[in-house]
Structure 1
């Protein structure tokens, strides 16, 4: 009886901690140039084993609800920034807490970058790297509780 109770306790208390080491959830991205919060992005499984992320809330002072992705050149061209899918197709790397192989869109310039996401600090933060060839930039996003 005590072993069963211990096992149940482990599952109940450990599951939330384990679930945090994933990019799934709501994240606040911080502008790496100004240090200001820019947006909140919700990342979730797309049902096909990959992660997608949607711009759920814009936090920049100059953000307007009617803003469109004017610079986008794909199916997102002229779509509202709110609700825009900016992360597509990231998959977990085998044997690592890293998600890669997807793309991330910078709606300010319309470019898609190769994506790599790594949960850090026990899943409280997410390193998000967008790269184009040898060039890239990494932002650290904070999990919204």
Structure 2
């Protein structure tokens, strides 16, 4: 009887420890182009003082045959003509539960368009699926980013 109790207690403690140490989306992420599958750059996601997440471009990944933009030329204010490196492309993303985030905005610096954003963290914390959309999420597009730490 005591052995069963210790075993059950161990299972409960292990389950609780996973929640206590669950990763959030903070860290470095390799953004991947959803159309070509090529890496685009590195984005640092961090938690702001108000508890929401922001994402800042820290590096642009060179690609063969593609000259990356240096400035956000077609972007609306306050992003107009700002350097791409250091640009906050994710704003206001809130954690809904252990894996889901919502209520944010994401800027595509190549087009200057701003989309509503929701995201889902994989159970192992190594992939982040971002869904940018206008209106309803079903009419958007998704990108899978890889944790780069």
TM range (shorter): 0.7 to 0.9
Unaligned runs of 5+ in 1: 1-9
Equivalenced residues, count: 132
Secondary structure in structure 2 of the residue aligned to 1:123: coil
* RMSD of aligned residue pairs (Cα, Å): 2.4
CA distance in structure 1 between the partners assigned to 2:59 and 2:115 by the alignment: 21
CA distance in structure 2 between the partners assigned to 1:74 and 1:19 by the alignment: 36
Q: Which residue of 1 aligns with 2:144?
A: 140
Instruction: Please say which structure displays the higher CA radius of gyration.
Output: 2
Structure 1's consecutive aligned runs of 4 or more residues displaced over 2 angstroms after TM superposition are 17-20, 60-64
Matches within 5 A, 1:1-145: 18-20=21-23, 22-61=24-63, 62-63=66-67, 67-93=70-96, 95-134=97-136, 135-145=139-149
Q: Normalized against structure 2, the TM-score is what? A: 0.79
CA distance in structure 2 between the partners assigned to 1:109 and 1:73 by the alignment: 10
Unaligned runs of 5+ in 2: 1-12
Distance 1:83 1:63, change over 3 A: farther
